[in-house]
């Protein structure tokens, strides 16, 4: 962590701020002292200003910690999403989702569509909005999640890792067939999060094929029965954004 020094502030004030771990306040203290003198701020106005500086710095650090804990594969935001490429994606619906009200209601979200149309981007962007709103988020590909649960020696600890987050993002369903017992592991997560925490998934294959992908039709049916009960489903169509510059126009 960067050590901040207020060069023009009284040494006793700097010492007290360090003892109270007010590093955010110290970063702007010199500037705030100059502003207070220039604008003749009252003691209460000055105090409110420097305390707000401390709060802002702590909030940004908390966001950075939650973002790191989330484990996003890419740093994706709604601001850098290309809304013009696929007109079937409703910006209004996505920004309503970004309000995170579905997390407060413990509801789920499913993105379905072919590769390259922006499902993972939107999934992680919504996750980042949740992080900024103060929610605990964890992002994993379905393969990493299954591997973690399959290889875990003490499953209670691993289960807690996936049960605790306010929002669990499970990406890449349908990229390939999952290993044996995947249905059991995935069902355990979905069942125990059902109506308690929000889960968001992306799938490259229609839900009718999940039984084949998981290799366990009864488990797939049980997973979908719970997951879709309170879920918003986005069925996105269109061409791959990643291939748009590689496609040679017909002459």
What value does the mean pLDDT of the chain take? 89
pLDDT one-digit tens code per residue, 136-165: 999 999 999 999 988 876 667 888 999 999
CATH placement of domain 91-235: 3.40.50.300
CA dihedral of 9, 13, 18, 19, whole degrees rounded to 10: 170
In the numeric block, which tokens belong to residue 236?
Answer: 């996105």
Would you kindly state where each structural domain of the chain is located, as residue ranges?
Answer: 11-70, 91-235
Q: Is the pLDDT of residue 3 over 50?
A: no
Residue with more model confidence, 16 or 139: 139
Residue 25 CB neighbours (<10 A): 25
Give the pLDDT score at 243.
Answer: 57
Q: Rg of the Cα trace of the chain?
A: 23
Q: Is the pLDDT of residue 17 over 90?
A: no
- Percentage with pLDDT > 90 across the chain: 66
SS3 18: helix
pLDDT one-digit tens code per residue, 214-251: 999 999 999 999 999 999 999 998 777 655 555 444 44
CA distance 142 to 232: 19
CA distance 4 to 25: 9
Question: 198 pairs with which residues across the strands?
Answer: 167
Q: What is the mean pLDDT of residues 7-29?
A: 83
Q: What is the mean pLDDT of residues 190-215?
A: 95
pTM of the model: 0.84
């Amino acid at each position: 962590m960067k050590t901040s020094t207020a060069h023009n502030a009284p040494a006793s004030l700097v010492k007290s701020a360090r003892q109270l771990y007010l590093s955010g306040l110290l970063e702007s203290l010199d500037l705030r002292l100059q502003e207070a003198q220039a604008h003749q701020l009252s003691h209460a106005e000055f105090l409110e200003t420097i305390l707000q500086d401390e709060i802002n710095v702590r909030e940004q650090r908390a966001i950075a910690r939650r973002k790191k804990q989330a484990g996003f594969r890419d740093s994706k935001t709604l601001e850098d999403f290309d809304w013009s490429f696929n007109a079937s994606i409703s910006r209004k619906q996505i920004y309503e989702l970004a309000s995170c009200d579905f997390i407060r209601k413990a509801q789920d979200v499913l993105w379905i569509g072919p590769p390259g149309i922006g499902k993972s981007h939107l999934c992680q962007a919504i996750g980042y909005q949740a992080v900024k709103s103060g929610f605990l988020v964890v992002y994993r590909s379905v393969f990493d999640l299954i591997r973690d649960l399959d290889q875990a020696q003490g499953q209670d600890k691993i289960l807690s890792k996936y049960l605790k987050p306010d929002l669990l993002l499970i990406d890449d369903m349908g990229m390939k067939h999952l290993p044996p017992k995947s249905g059991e592991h995935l069902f355990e997560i979905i069942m125990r999060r059902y109506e308690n925490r929000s889960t968001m998934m992306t799938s490259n294959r229609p839900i009718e094929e999940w039984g084949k992908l998981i290799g366990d039709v009864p488990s797939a049916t049980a997973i979908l029965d719970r997951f879709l009960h309170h879920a918003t489903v986005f069925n996105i169509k269109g061409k791959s954004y990643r291939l748009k510059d590689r496609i040679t126009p017909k002459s």
